[in-house]
Amino acid sequence: MGSKAAFLPSSLESGALKKRIIEIGANEVGIGDVSVGIAPELSHMPLAIALAVQHPPLQTQNSPAYPYIHFSLAIDRRLLEIQRIVTSGIRRKGWRALPIPPDSCRHDSSFISRIFKLFPHKTAATCAGLGWVGKSGLLISSRFGPRLSWATILTNAPLEVDATSIKRSFCGQCSRCVEACPANAIKNKNWKYTTSYRTMINVNRCAAELQKNKERYGQYACGICMMVCLQGLK
Ligand code: SF4
Ligand code: SF4
């Protein structure tokens, strides 16, 4: 991202803004109306810009923690830089913008870590029509499958939202992630926009598996449900 890339289009027209976000390094971007159900603390910013960076091809022969260990830091740095550029550009035009960083920053002890509890990236992405929540609990993009890392910018800028939010699963009869999960943590439930994460995933079993990987590989990570999903593969 060069210095010229630091500038957003002169107007905040949605199409031009999304084009610019792709130019500065995102692989996917959409704008959704998240006003329904948003926490009262954030309701003054009813729109969400959902943006994502694609993961490189996975090396399944390596450890289950491989995808996270080897590329998540580089991807997160790219997402954070895109967020910084877009957020400061929107603020310079006089509108509010609150960046919600990638999920791997959830351990951060700063103010923003408290916001994570109030707003998941999946809400932004589904409201922007970019994907659905798979049986694995991961956001599934029809273009990239689960192989994306996400970040969100909440704003009150007068942007046009993408036409169709996604409110149901397109996993259908597939159960690859259910069968592959080493912790038997995936409950084989198709998501709807009213479905809670805990209805779909046994979070204690998943957390125990991640803890085992921390002891084995030094990373609180897994990635098997991501690796086996065929959505988005050509
Ligand atoms: S991250 Fe691993 S343990 Fe957790 S649901 Fe996915 S496959 Fe199962
Ligand atoms: S592996 Fe199949 S069931 Fe699991 S998230 Fe992907 S499409 Fe859905």
pTM here?
Answer: 0.87
Asked if residue 201 has its Cβ within 6 Å of ligand 2, the reply is no
The ranges assigned to domains in the chain are 9-155, 176-228
Which SS3 state, helix, strand or coil, does residue 179 take?
A: helix
Which residues' Cβ are closer than 6 Å to ligand 1?
A: 136, 181-183, 185-186, 201, 206, 209, 222, 224-225
- The ligand with the least distance to the CA atom of 147 is 2
The answer to whether residue 9 scores a pLDDT higher than 80 is no
pLDDT digits 0-9 by tens, 53-95 = 998 876 554 555 545 555 677 888 899 999 999 999 999 999 9
Among the listed residues 52, 44, 50, 51, the one whose alpha carbon sits nearest the alpha carbon of residue 95: 44
Any ligand 2 atom below 6 A from CB of 90: no
Q: Residue 154: which of 79, 80, 48 has the closest Cα?
A: 48
Q: What is the mean pLDDT of residues 118-135?
A: 92
Q: Is the CB of residue 113 below 6 angstroms from any atom belonging to ligand 2?
A: no
Closest C-alpha to ligand 2, atom 2: 174
pLDDT tens digits, 164-184: 899 999 999 999 999 999 999
Helix (H) or strand (E) holding 54: strand 47-54
Match 């990570």 to its residue by tokens. Answer: 221
Is 79 within 8 Å of 143 (Cβ atoms)? Answer: no
User: Hey, is 50 helix, strand or coil?
Assistant: strand
Pairing of strands 148-155, 47-54: antiparallel
Distance 137 CA to ligand 1 centre (A): 9
Instruction: Return the minimum-mean-pLDDT range out of 17-21, 176-180, 206-210, 211-215.
Output: 211-215
Mean pLDDT of the chain: 86
Both tokens of 19, joined, read 């084009």
Check pLDDT > 80 for residue 106: no
2 pLDDT higher than 50: no
Strands laid side by side in the 47-54 sheet:
28-33, 47-54, 148-155, 97-100
Residue 31 CA to residue 183 CA, distance in Å, equals 35
Give the pLDDT band (50/70/90) at residue 33.
very high
Parallel/antiparallel/unpaired status of strands 148-155 and 97-100: antiparallel
Looking at residues 213-217, what average pLDDT do you find? 85
Cβ of 186 below 6 Å from ligand 2: no
